[in-house]
Amino acid sequence: MQIKLEEDSCGLPENVIRKFPHIQDYRAFKVPSTLDAKTLLKCQLAVATFNSDGKCINVTGLQLPGVLDDLFSYNGPLGALYSEDSVSVYLWAPTAQAVCACIYRDPVGGNPLEIVQLEEVNGVWSTKGPKRWEGCYYVYEVSVYHPSTLQIDKCHVNDPYARGLSSDGRRTFLVNLDSDTLKPEDWDDLANEKPDIPSFSDISIYELHIRDFSAYDYTVHPEFRGGYLAFTLQDSSGVLHLKKLSNAGLTHVHLLPTFQFAGVDDEKENWKCVDTNMLDKLPPDSVQQQALITAIQDNDGYNWGYNPVLWGVPKGSYASNPNGPYRIIEFRKMIQALNRIGLRIVLDVVYNHVHGSGPFDENSVLDKIVPGYYLRKNTDGLIENSTCVNNTASEHVMVERLILDDLLHWVVHYKVDGFRFDLMGHIMKSTMVKAKDALHSLTKERDGIDGSSIYIYGEGWDFGEVAKNGRGVNASQFNLSGTQIGSFNDRIRDAMLGGSPFGHPLQQGFVTGLFLQPNGHDHGTEANAECMLAVAKDHIQVGMAANLRDFVLTNFEGKEVKGSEVLTYGGAPVAYALSPTETVNYVSAHDNETLFDIVSLKTPMEISVDKRCRINYLATSVIALSQGIPFFHSGDEMLRSKSLDRDSYNSGDWFNRLDFTYNSNNWGVGLPPKEKNEKNWPLIKPRLADPSFKPQKSHILAAVDNFLNLLHIRYSSPLFRLKTANAIQERVRFHNTGPSWIPGTIVMSIEDGYEGVPGLSQLDPIYSYIAVIVNASPTEVSFACPALRARTLKLHPIQVMSTDELVKSSTYEGSSGCFTVPPRTTSVFVEPR
């Protein structure tokens, strides 16, 4: 069948250009108005040009998402719906030629109980079955044209709206999440038990992987280790540690991916493992550990989980039994248990890509149902892979709908408290704003959850095909300002540690010895290194003021500038936020080396482990005492090491081990896996081989103590958690600025008002003024500040009572306004009312 196209002299409509800016310069053609486009979309389509002799001179396939959105967008039911006497299933598949559901009694094996043909109405296929289907399993068989094979394929596929799965992940479990049999005791009342969050500015976040939490915790029953139920124990080493953090003020635990992902078999009996007693006996810098771990890395129980297969189902490998309803019940028990020890839960969601594509990949779901729709393609018709693989396209209506439905599902059915968006910059800003609005509209009365308390944040990196709004206005750091959606502040991380995760591993930063304790790496002349240190300090100060675009401070040259006028080395503004809760400050996360490892790499070889531990505390203190939202990688408070592994996503339990008994920080467990680390092995090997690099239990205990004190200090005054940009501008000041600054020292003050006195309002009933002095230098520092003279400042009572003898020697002299702070120490001074 051939259809002649007419060129449209008006060009592409405005709404099309807005949605697909990358094709704005294309010529526009019209199909005849009498054409039945809906039927045509089920066939193979191509556009060809012919010469005057009727000979085809060019031909190309078509990308259909735009027309599918225009003709088939849908907001009715999808997935399985349950009534008193029936089970109905709905599937959006407008290009499919036929869809049937194969119903099975068992999760694996056996023949279908029945095969039911679904009926189509306007692109949505559905059928109504008997109540006895509940508790069974099903698979769709979708007959559809697939552009990757240029033919009609029969695809066997799970429901993208699946809420349960079989152990092999091949069948969708028909499970009604509203059934009382799936609810732990008092589940429906959990919204009233949740820890209180008066304001998003009160949030602090601890990032944790489910297996890391308990895989090596011998106080946990072997059956529970590495899974959901480990969080439900009251007196395991890990839970006791979380209770300490919660009691000190920590509010949220961010769990790395918990949805159904590829890379770990849900059936534990299929896992391979290495004898850890044998690994324990190998030298700390040996190549053997990583060789043994990587030989089985795709067949063990470990993966971070950034390989999404189905977004709406809890991962089966973390459950005691991956079949039936166990994963659902145990996930709910985990959420309930963490809420009851005062911690809210953030889920790490990966909507920017899926693991599988094409008609035959066992992990492919979306691309089997509506081929070419869910995944973003380039101009050659190939799937974009800038996220790593199979980028999704939230600019397409039904992709966005799936994301929004999934978020609401996790909140309503699992009562989670927030979301961290992986590679959020690859999602459209409009999708993120709709997500926030949809979540915040949930109410306790109607939905069993207070949506206004749900916080969302993510990685606002701007790269790949979406960079510079290439596919529409994306959810990048700069585009999100004013939305109240948080994004990670990489500026403060890089300024503190030095360089970036993509630069030379020995490049030093503010806390790792730049200019003050050189490590031999070429940082240019001494004057250049000093200038780099001064620039780093400006970046950190902007971050400590919540990375606010309009915050005014004095820069290292002595000029008054806004945060947005302080520039990164690439010339981009450092600051982008309009509100403090849009900034998530961090110095380490699951990606890249741990904080202790990066400090061990960047500091000079000859300094002692005591000093490296102090640098670890120092970096953490800056994050803990900054405005904005502080984010901590699990184990930073225990000097966690991954034996210098820069990307441990598939490095097994061995390199990712956490020890909540505080006996070991996991340093020196062999050279890290070759794939991501080999080029740095010459730097890594001598450090791992040197026994003086390894912290003792006393160092770990001191680090835990120090971290708890920092949390206690943060929550001792609302002045550390100011709610608005205006409050930060009025109350936060930086001293020791301009060209005559004392290198390596940051001095921040936060001022409060007095009840009944004109000027600043009173926020803190206990302290009227706070001064924070960060001394990153290897020597004691004295700094006299005329603006801080004649105050009644005293060392914070928590530091006075701490086990850190060094911080106790910090002093303030009122007549001169002079502070003296020991090396590599953050001292907090308060003025009691």
* Residue 422 is among the residues annotated as catalytic for this protein: yes
Residue written as tokens 């020991």? Answer: 822
The span from the CA of 341 to the CA of 195, in Å, is 8
CB atoms within 10 A of CB 295: 12
Q: HEC profile for 501-543?
A: CCCCCCCCCCCCCCCCCCCCCCCCCHHHHHHHHHHHHHHHHHH
Tokens matching residue 355:
């693991």
- Packed helices 429-440 and 397-414: angle between N→C axes, nearest 10 degrees: 30
Spatial distance between the Cα atoms of 661 and 238, rounded to a whole number of angstroms: 8
Residues 200, 453: Cα–Cα separation, whole Å: 8
- Tokens 């990153």 belong to 776
CB neighbour burial string for 150-172, b if at least 16 within 10 angstroms, e if fewer: eebbebebbbbbbbbbbbbbbbb
Instruction: Answer for the pair 378, 386: CB distance below 8 angstroms, yes or no.
Output: no
Separation CA 274–CA 401 (nearest Å): 43
Token pair of 500 as six digits: 């970036």
Query: Containing H/E element for 373?
Result: none
Could you give the CA distance from residue 561 to residue 564 in angstroms, rounded to a whole number? 8
- Write down the residue that tokens 């005559």 correspond to: 740
Residues whose CB is less than 8 angstroms from the CB of residue 245 and which lie 6 or more positions away in sequence, other chains included: 206, 343, 637, 708, 711
Q: How far apart are CA 562 and CA 292, in angstroms?
A: 52
Bridge partners, 748 (sequence order): 734, 772
Q: Say how far apart CA 774 and CA 718 lie, in whole Å.
A: 20
Burial (0-12, 13-18, 19+ Cβ within 10 Å), 653: buried
Q: 534: burial class by Cβ within 10 Å (0-12, 13-18, 19+)?
A: buried
Catalytic residue, chosen from 367, 422, 490, 647, is 422
Q: How far apart are CA 707 and CA 587, in angstroms?
A: 14
Q: What are the structure tokens assigned to 382, written together? A: 């190939």
Q: Is 808 exposed, middle or buried (CB count within 10 Å of its CB: 0-12, 13-18, 19+)?
A: middle
The residue from 266, 400, 459, 637 that is catalytic is: 459
515: left (phi over 0), alpha (psi -120 to 50) or beta: left
Inter-axis angle of helices 609-624 and 490-497, to 10 degrees? 160
3-state secondary structure of 828: strand
- Annotated active-site residue 462? The verdict is no
Distance from C-alpha of 108 to C-alpha of 198, rounded to nearest angstrom: 48
Q: Kind of pairing, strands 252-255 and 205-208?
A: parallel
Burial 254-269 (b: 16+ CB within 10 A, else e): bbbbbbbbbbbbbebe
**Residues 6 or more apart whose Cβ sits within 8 Å of residue 179:** none
* Rounded Cα gap, residues 687 and 667, in angstroms: 10
Pairing of strands 96-104, 259-261: unpaired
User: Do the Cβ atoms of 375 and 355 come closer than 8 Å?
Assistant: no
Active site residues: 422, 459
